[in-house]
A = this chain, B = another copy of it.
């Protein structure tokens, strides 16, 4: 299906069928997710993928007990590396080899830029990795849906408990949880009318920024 249809029919699904996702389908979904862009192509994302009942139950416990974490075939914790330098050298060697940059001097300047970024405060580093990791998370959800695999993004879990439970080393930000699974035939998230969206007249501001104080919502009707 075309992208507009993928975006328009994607829903955040909490009720899943028992049908398992093939490993080859998961591989394709993750391969597509890694095609997301990222700042300097630094790809700070890591995916902790939980499919066993035991690990999904442990995740549920740090995610406000939400049942769909266990009911879904797969729960993915998107982790963001907060160190911009982690992959920088290899990435810029690739740019040089493919002629995105003309010579080693430019490569070295880029490395200096990223090294300067790596000196950001911890707060800035969290924002930095969240930005690119969320681009991959969104790509993951669309890739899944193209294969009929529904998803639900979650935030608001207990970061510290998650880090402790899964023994996440320092330097990784838990950005988001995404559940993946084939939707239940009668999933209310699909049956119900789509949740409203703020209309483009309110969110798109041409040439100057004059935010609307009022909130209105429209029920989307494009593409299905």
Contact = CB atoms under 8 A, between A and B. Distances in A.
Interface string A180-195: 0000000011001101
A7 B196 contact: no
Nearest to A1: B2
Assembly of this chain: how many copies?
Answer: 2
| Size bin of chain A's contact surface | 35 or more
A32 B222 contact: yes
Interface string A9-35: 010100000000000000110111011
What is the interface of chain A mostly: helix, strand, loop, or mixed? mixed
A193 B46 CA distance: 24
Interface in A93-139: 94-95, 98-100, 113, 117, 123, 126-128, 130-132, 134-135, 137-139
A48 B204 CA distance: 6
A205 B135 contact: no
A90 B212 CA distance: 14
- Max count, chain B CB within 10 A of own CB: residue among A12, A99, A138: A138
Given A36-B138, A39-B153, A41-B195, 6 more contacts: A47-B204, A79-B209, A91-B195, A99-B188, A134-B138, A135-B137
